[in-house]
Amino acid sequence: MTFKVERRIGAETLSIETGKLARQAHGAALVRYGETVVLGTVLTGPPREGIDFFPLQVDYREKMSAAGKFPGGFFKREGRPTSKEILTMRMIDRPVRPLFPAGFNDEVQIQLSVLSADPQTDPDVVGMAAAGAALAVSPLPFQGPVASVRVGHVDGEFVINPTRSQLEYSDLDLIVAGTTRSINMIEIGCRELSEQVVADAIKFGHEQGVLPICEMLDELRHHAGQASTWEAPEPDAAFLEDVRNRTWDDLLAAKTIAGKQERYAAVNEVYEKVLDHFCP
């Protein structure tokens, strides 16, 4: 079943569609903003035996074919990700990773492919929308939705997702990401703006960009989402209570030490003491 949502975000219409491409993925969405098109897919698998961390991998690629070009010279294939692609992967990973529940250690891969590139629209925030949309329709226990937008400050006015031409004379380049409840990632560069202007820009980006996109993702999940079957593992209550009894008083005393280095040393001493007891 295909489903599509559209809404005006900034100067262009943001379109999110699912059910047409990459149907074998656990979650997939095609996102358009202006002439920029990004395909986002999510794949998941069972956790590797013995791991105690969340193995999330985000892969974002801007192929030259998206601009109607192909590599010239001796090498006819594109190689390793560029610095811009790596930074975009990290920018997408940071707001997404904390929204998975504790104890979830399944393998998760988020693949983002730029299919068409508008010279005036940077596809990085479009890729973030594609990641959020793919997660929204997947069966993963994702505590989203999550979205991000770019905010510029042109001629004294805030602009959602400014074009590359506008960014040349904008004194602010802000990327804000978050959920309907809060902001969980900020990346900013500016030209000596006041704290109040920056704070207003963050609020503007959340209210005028992040919240509308999250509403779109909620609608997408309502009509095309899959129910999660994952159940959180039961914690060892006796073990946690034992650790609490051994550390509470000492940790409380350590945290009240005024000096930073002394406080860190005292907390580390409590940690080493518990580690020596349980892992002799």
Sequence ranges of the domains in the chain: 3-146+205-224, 237-278
- Number of alpha helices (DSSP H) and beta strands (DSSP E) in the chain: 7, 10
How far is the C-alpha of 105 from the C-alpha of 152, rounded, in Å?
Answer: 37
* DSSP track, 39-90: EEEEEEEPPPTT--S--EEEEEE--GGGGT----SS--S--SPPHHHHHHHH
| pLDDT (tens digit per residue) in 225-260 | 888 888 877 777 888 888 888 889 889 998 989 889
Lowest mean pLDDT among 2-11, 117-126, 176-185, 228-237: 228-237
Is pLDDT larger for residue 239 or for residue 65? 239
CA dihedral 39, 181, 2, 227 (to 10 degrees): 110
| pLDDT (tens digit per residue) in 183-194 | 999 999 888 888
DSSP state of 232: P
What would the mean pLDDT of 48-64 be, rounded to a whole number?
87
Domain 3-146+205-224, what fold? Ribosomal Protein S5; domain 2 (3.30.230)
What would the mean pLDDT of 96-103 be, rounded to a whole number?
90
pTM of the entire predicted model: 0.82
- Please give the single-letter amino acid code of residue 76: K
For residues 139 and 227, the answer to whether their CB atoms sit within 8 Å is yes
- At residue 73, the pLDDT reads 67
SS3 38: strand
| Percentage of the chain exceeding pLDDT 90 | 48
For residues 123 and 117, the answer to whether their CB atoms sit within 8 Å is yes
| Percentage of the chain exceeding pLDDT 70 | 97
97: confidence class by pLDDT, cuts 50, 70, 90:
very high
